[in-house]
Structure 1
């Protein structure tokens, strides 16, 4: 198999090719390694690999032999050094076991060939860690691929991988999906296990899943990895039927709220993003859905204050736990300036501050849940702009305190963090294009545990507004 042939196929098609015997898993892996070696010098999405051979995986899983990579944050594989984008971990610390999700990726048959880049400890909407260098957007190498799952997004968009692991604490699946023209689903809290290392990463905001190029890959992978694991705090009902069936069946008639003002951060919204959402709204009406302008009433200032507490307390705990375990002193030689600022602020917080933030989050969850009693979905831009320039979100800027850094990030991403707080599923789809040819992401948010509603409608939109033939400037073949 030639890399150019490999690059044309999504994960579902590659799995079918391997099952049929038309191509072997080894041939596909060789093509994937060549593809990764082709685009890596241009986009810098890998921080480890490509491995000479994929990590061990099931030969009979639904995605047996399909090339894959894991983001170097939260999810980890036994024996593979993890660095989390930070110099604090040196050259990386090998982990003794798989996380539960990594074990499920293996059982699904995914053939892991490397680790993808993340910003330091995940707190950035681009991916330019001092430890590993700047990841670039394959649509335009002067632009950022977004973050924090920017390494995965750059490699999937450049067609070096059909699918890659990602996670999302404030938009880190959906932001790079929007910037790189991908499908980015953040599942509901509890849909994908975070165990055993975490019960509620980032006070419950952090969610694990993946980035794909097609809706059917998104649905099929969720079918393969969702579900409760022993000790998880949440146990959601299983879906009524496989998510892959929802893609084929399509959506019921829905009532959809269209909203183009940011929920958080108060940054301006690019008119091109507004126009893309309004265009999708018209398409949805043509498909028979009811679309009107509406939004849940939220206190943006209180939300941002609470979200800042969640992020900074998480960073302080992470930095101090890692430093103590490794016997190192956190400082400018091993941490970026804004990480130090956020951790310093996090250390000043009291238990009362955490509980006060959770009260705001509870109010937010209740307001959004009440809104969804009237509206099935909320349609918004994914980002405030199609993408950002490389270097715009400089996490090593010593002039920024914790609030200044938070405002810089969420000034570019004012639509995504709400669903992290509510735990509701949300998906970004590449439904718009700029004059430069950059993708524009459009977000749909659903009630808690309603991934099926999102995936069914995403399948309809993929058929109505297809994106499969679009190619970035940097792409395999």
Structure 2
């Protein structure tokens, strides 16, 4: 085994790096310093980091390593959005806030620490996470390692860019409409959204966006995503509800064959030719592995559905602003908000309670309809996005003269499928199985039944073995050459 620590970082996932630390082949301090070096090598090109917390991670390295921890000494980063990291500024991607240091860790962050992870800082997000591109007037644009003129996706774009550039093997993110899976598709990495209620959301949040939002991670390997679930899944104290957890480990599920599955290939919104090709090729790959694929039309009005989502997101954002204003002792100056946010607040920020409750009830009804449909299928398949990653500025060129309907058309014409599974609470993932002729990744999206993370992870690992992606190197790469 080589003593070159960058070789390990180039070739090992987080589980593998934790094993190296436990075996004494490398120390947590060495890992931290090497990852800092890698981050600084690519960060000027990516713009993926909000705040560096290097000294805090170095302090953790001075303590003895607990060899029982799955990710002993493995560095990572935390998304700067509704996930406090003690001591780090909470900007939520907005210049309208007077960012203050978090006084405590989010419960998920605390669980990552207990699993041995060492947070090095925070990653970028668009303002309040309401965009499919990570661009903001506060932090600027986060760029795609495969082509820096393209978006890294959103809202966990900083996390995806750093994992894709091989700075860290995984990074924390959250997902209210596709915010783990969209950037995973754009950056050619693995993004997994767990079932509603599986992950902790406290102590600040009871449920994000009326239950649409859930946190987890973006990873390079399927194994890391599963092992992170093993370390962090389960309702936290006082959670309003909880999804079932599995009696056996999620990582063990990645080592099992999923069996022959019934796969529904979603037919729906218009796709660009490369996205349609991803759907066809992914279906063919699944068939070659022994699965049965057949077309399915989902039982919903797509346009009405998207508007219902913003009947929830708009009032939720208004409540967030009012809460933050109370915490700082002065109202938020809304003129400092992004135009996209002001349009959303203007049209949906003050809905009456009846309309908000109607939107929540429609989401629940949709979840029941889709659950009934999925008695016929084990999983549903589509491309993650309707086309390849957009250019920087393409999904951020909004002003207050636009209507919310125009913004919704722009976002969901680009990303038509992901938000559906936030609404129904089902687990879903984006796998980097294909690259376009232009050399840009375009993910394959697969959703499973509520609570069936293990089956999805088993299928993901099978697809990863059939068409591995870890060896693909983007243009901006932190590793050794």
TM-score, L = length of structure 1: 0.95
Task: Give structure 2 stretches of 5+ with no counterpart.
Answer: none
Aligned to 2:302: 300
Task: Give the deviation of 1:93 after TM superposition.
Answer: 1.2
C-alpha distance in structure 1 between counterparts of 2:433 and 2:300, whole Å: 27
Give yes or no for contact 1:434–1:440 (8 Å, CA) kept in 2. yes
Task: Give the deviation of 1:395 after TM superposition.
Answer: 6.2
1:272–1:396 CA distance, 2 compared to 1 (3 A): closer
Aligned to 2:11: 8
Question: 2:257 aligned with 1:250, yes or no?
Answer: yes
1:353-373 residue CA offsets vs partner (Å, 9 max, x unmatched): 111112321221111101111
Following superposition of structure 1 onto structure 2, how do residues 457-472 of structure 1 map, counting pairs within 5 Å? 457-472=459-474
Task: Give the deviation of 1:185 after TM superposition.
Answer: 0.3
C-alpha distance in structure 2 between counterparts of 1:169 and 1:400, whole Å: 23
C-alpha distance in structure 2 between counterparts of 1:237 and 1:405, whole Å: 36
Give yes or no for contact 1:314–1:346 (8 Å, CA) kept in 2. no
Aligned to 1:134: 141
Residue 193 of structure 1, aligned match among 194, 200, 212: 200
Following superposition of structure 1 onto structure 2, how do residues 364-379 of structure 1 map, counting pairs within 5 Å? 364-379=366-381
Aligned to 1:82: 90
1:312-340 residue CA offsets vs partner (Å, 9 max, x unmatched): 11111112221232244444652111112
Task: Give the deviation of 1:246 after TM superposition.
Answer: 0.9
C-alpha distance in structure 1 between counterparts of 2:343 and 2:397, whole Å: 10
Residue 20 of structure 1, aligned match among 23, 32, 40: 23
Aligned to 1:69: 77
C-alpha distance in structure 2 between counterparts of 1:321 and 1:345, whole Å: 20
Aligned residues: 471
Give yes or no for contact 2:48–2:124 (8 Å, CA) kept in 1. yes
Following superposition of structure 1 onto structure 2, how do residues 425-464 of structure 1 map, counting pairs within 5 Å? 425-464=427-466
Following superposition of structure 1 onto structure 2, how do residues 230-245 of structure 1 map, counting pairs within 5 Å? 230-245=237-252
Aligned to 1:124: 131
Task: Give the deviation of 1:238 after TM superposition.
Answer: 2.4
Range that drifts further, 450-459 or 294-303:
294-303
RMSD of the alignment, in Å? 1.6
Residue 59 of structure 1, aligned match among 50, 58, 65: 65
Range that drifts further, 404-413 or 70-79:
404-413
Give yes or no for contact 1:117–1:151 (8 Å, CA) kept in 2. yes
1:179–1:208 CA distance, 2 compared to 1 (3 A): same
Following superposition of structure 1 onto structure 2, how do residues 76-475 of structure 1 map, counting pairs within 5 Å? 76-90=84-98, 92-262=99-269, 268-331=270-333, 333-394=335-396, 397-475=399-477
Task: Give structure 1 stretches of 5+ with no counterpart.
Answer: 263-267
Give yes or no for contact 1:432–1:441 (8 Å, CA) kept in 2. yes
Give yes or no for contact 2:52–2:121 (8 Å, CA) kept in 1. yes
SS at match of 2:71: coil
Give yes or no for contact 1:257–1:375 (8 Å, CA) kept in 2. yes
Question: 2:47 aligned with 1:44, yes or no?
Answer: yes
C-alpha distance in structure 2 between counterparts of 1:186 and 1:395, whole Å: 28
C-alpha distance in structure 1 between counterparts of 2:425 and 2:397, whole Å: 27
C-alpha distance in structure 1 between counterparts of 2:450 and 2:111, whole Å: 23
TM-score, L = length of structure 2: 0.95
Task: Give the deviation of 1:5 after TM superposition.
Answer: 4.4
Range that drifts further, 403-412 or 392-401:
392-401
C-alpha distance in structure 1 between counterparts of 2:171 and 2:438, whole Å: 26
SS at match of 1:474: coil
SS at match of 1:89: coil
Task: Give the deviation of 1:236 after TM superposition.
Answer: 2.8
C-alpha distance in structure 1 between counterparts of 2:109 and 2:116, whole Å: 11
C-alpha distance in structure 1 between counterparts of 2:461 and 2:320, whole Å: 38
SS at match of 1:428: strand
Aligned to 1:265: none
